[in-house]
Amino acid sequence: MFDDIFNHITTRSDMTNATVEIIIMLLGAFILGFILRHFLGCKSKLNVTHHHRTPEPTISSVPAAALDIESNTESKVKTKADKPPEDLKLVKGIDPKIEALLHAGGILTMAQLATVDTAVIQKILNSVGSKYARRDPQTWSIQADLIEDKKWIELEEYQDTLVGGKNP
């Protein structure tokens, strides 16, 4: 009577066989998927996004027209050829990369930065990509003028009023 009740219960050896069969099927499905991916030429998303990444803009990528500030503005101050470029990073909003772009564009001194038209500076920033095009050079000439006149207290007070290099 009780023998019929326990006939449908699996033993430990039956469970081991089923587990091995499941592992073999999963391994077979993985290998089949790998082979199909190889033959169909599907690429992983990691490789696709890596190849579409835009490179960091360099100074050499600035178009020559944007760097020709001499023809774009009459208010540019001439400098001696032997005078080294000044540290434009004293101006809030100018980082080392922007300083290098401005130097490549011919803006080497605070006097030039103070007198050059902001549209010319914006053209230089726009020429290397949207990362730099978002910068606002409206306050740079005021700061450069204060630095040129060595008005350090006024410069510090003015820079304290700026939010992210911009007027609030």
* Residue 7: half-sphere exposure toward Cβ, Cα within 13 Å: 5
Distance CA 17, CA 73 (A): 85
Distance CA 126, CA 91 (A): 19
Q: Minimal CA–CA distance to 58: which of 98, 3, 108?
A: 98
Distance CA 59, CA 98 (A): 9
Kindly provide the residue ranges of all beta strands, DSSP E only, lying in the chain, ordered along the sequence.
none
- Is the pLDDT at 27 greater than 90, yes or no? yes
CA 23 to chain centre: 46
The burial class, CB within 10 Å (0-12 / 13-18 / 19+), for 121 is: buried
Domain boundaries, the chain: 12-51, 61-161
pTM of the model: 0.52
Q: What tens digit of pLDDT does each residue of 113-155 get?
A: 899 998 898 898 888 877 777 788 888 889 899 999 999 999 8
On whether the CB atoms of residues 162 and 146 are closer than 8 A, the answer is: no
* Total count of residues recorded for the chain: 168
CA distances from 14 to 3, 9, 20, 21 (A): 18, 10, 10, 11
Distance CA 2, CA 21 (A): 31
Q: What tens digit of pLDDT does each residue of 7-25 get?
A: 666 666 666 777 888 999 9
pLDDT at residue number 105? 87
Q: What tens digit of pLDDT does each residue of 47-91 get?
A: 444 445 555 555 555 555 555 554 444 444 444 445 788 888 898
Residue recorded with tokens 């902001």 = 118
pLDDT at residue number 131? 79
